[in-house]
């Protein structure tokens, strides 16, 4: 029989700007924290500040550096400050750019999913183009970059995509379980990424909301594991 951990959903808390928020994410059981190195974001931190914040992380909690259309040299300079980071490319970066800028480090690419059903977006083709990515991050397509705290229609995702995925865009403690239930069966594995859904103000995280979000994810994992076990043949 499988256990709840067979369905464990990894959790990233993104857009951290303060020491106490890093500590709250770690205490709640997050697997990763995200630092936004995009100067136009209200959650922007410099590479130096990212280095300061990530020094608080214990082993096995992964720092993620988010970039939007930065030159290769900017990406690599930031990586020198946070050498163990996973990279997240959230702009218009090509597969070739991602490979060059990451210089062998693991990276993931944001796929911006249109909310409008009439807008064309082929996720299978996108996944094939970015086949070297460790994962695709699924976010809502809005004006500018980032999901602006909005969800996209999860039902628009293809039924079977052979890659690891990170569900983002408008997640909260109230809707993350539904997102996991709808999206996980479509991908090899699923993680979730939250930012505004656990904030009291832009760039200011709420420790209570972080804990609620993590608890909601863990509850969803247990329910999915029970559902799977219920459909297994008897020994």
Residue 12: enclosing H or E segment and its boundaries? strand 10-14
Residue 116's contacts (CB-CB under 8 Å, 6 or more residues apart) are: none
Task: Give the closest residue to 186 by CA, choosing from 160, 225, 220.
Answer: 160
The catalytic residue among 14, 79, 98, 163 is 14
CA dihedral 138, 10, 70, 22 (to 10 degrees): 130
Q: Which two tokens stand for residue 189?
A: 């594995």
The catalytic residue among 31, 139, 193, 221 is 139
CA dihedral 31, 36, 42, 43 (to 10 degrees): 40
Tell me how far apart the alpha carbons of residues 67 and 33 are, in angstroms, rounded to a whole number.
14
Residue 10's contacts (CB-CB under 8 Å, 6 or more residues apart) are: 31, 32, 189, 191, 192
Tell me how far apart the alpha carbons of residues 63 and 57 are, in angstroms, rounded to a whole number.
8
79 is catalytic: no
Which residues are known catalytic residues? 14, 139
């Amino acid at each position: 029989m499988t256990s709840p951990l067979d369905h464990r959903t990894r959790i990233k808390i993104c857009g951290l700007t303060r020491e106490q928020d890093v500590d709250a994410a770690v205490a709640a059981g997050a697997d990763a924290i995200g630092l936004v190195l995009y100067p136009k974001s209200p959650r922007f931190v410099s590479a130096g500040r990212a280095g300061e914040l990530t020094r608080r992380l214990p082993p096995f909690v992964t720092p993620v550096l988010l970039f939007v259309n930065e030159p290769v040299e900017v990406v690599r300079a930031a990586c020198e400050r946070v050498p163990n980071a996973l990279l997240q490319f959230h702009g218009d970066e090509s597969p070739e750019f991602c490979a060059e800028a990451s210089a062998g480090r693991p990276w993931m690419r944001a796929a911006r999913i249109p909310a409008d059903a009439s807008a064309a977006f082929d996720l299978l083709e996108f996944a094939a183009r970015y086949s070297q990515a460790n994962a695709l991050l699924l976010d809502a397509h809005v004006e500018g970059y980032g999901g602006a705290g909005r969800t996209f229609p999860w039902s628009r995702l293809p039924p079977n995509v052979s890659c690891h995925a990170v569900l983002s865009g408008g997640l909260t403690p109230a809707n993350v379980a539904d997102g996991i239930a709808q999206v996980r069966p479509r991908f090899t594995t699923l993680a979730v990424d939250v930012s505004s859904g656990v904030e009291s103000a832009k760039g200011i995280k709420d420790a209570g909301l972080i804990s609620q979000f993590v608890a909601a994810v863990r509850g969803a994992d247990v329910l999915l594991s029970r559902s799977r076990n219920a459909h297994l043949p008897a020994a």
